[in-house]
Amino acid sequence: MINNEMSDNAIMNEFGSRISRYRLNRNMTQNTLAIEAGVSTPTIQRAESGASIQLVKLIRILRVLNLVGNIEALVPELSISPLQQLKVKGKTRQRASSLQANNKKAGRP
């Protein structure tokens, strides 16, 4: 199970291992997955070994493995409370407040 206590490398290794297991469960070679995803075989090898790959290539791989819908669980849509909606008057937040502005609101110098 992936959690916050794991290092980035450990998470990437686990993620790569899972991609490999899904590919093998579908009885696909790395080459077949690469062709269907429109990426190179070395990209599949890097992904499965836990190395870094481009996000667009990961999405292509997940799409072929029928896993792209799981991105929703990875970064779920943010729900805004009714009070927060009133506060922002229906606008979508575009920027984060600066640390200095937060300190002033909290009454700190």
Tell me what pLDDT residue 76 has. Answer: 83
Tell me what pLDDT residue 80 has. Answer: 72
32 lies in which domain range?
8-74
Residue 49 lies in a domain: yes
Q: What is the CATH number of the domain that holds 30?
A: 1.10.260.40
Residue 42 lies in a domain: yes
Tell me what pLDDT residue 63 has. Answer: 97
Residue 100 lies in a domain: no
Q: At what angle do helices 8-25 and 41-49 cross, to 10 degrees?
A: 120
Tell me what pLDDT residue 101 has. Answer: 58
Residue numbers of the chain with a pLDDT score lower than 70: 82, 85-86, 88-93, 100-109
Question: Which H helix or E strand runs over 11?
Answer: helix 8-25
Tell me what pLDDT residue 42 has. Answer: 98
Q: Alpha-carbon distance 65 to 39, whole Å?
A: 14
Tell me what pLDDT residue 106 has. Answer: 59
Residue 20 lies in a domain: yes
pTM of the model: 0.73
Residue 69 lies in a domain: yes
Residue 2 lies in a domain: no
Tell me what pLDDT residue 75 has. Answer: 82
Residue 62 lies in a domain: yes
Tell me what pLDDT residue 99 has. Answer: 73
Q: How many domains does the chain have?
A: 1
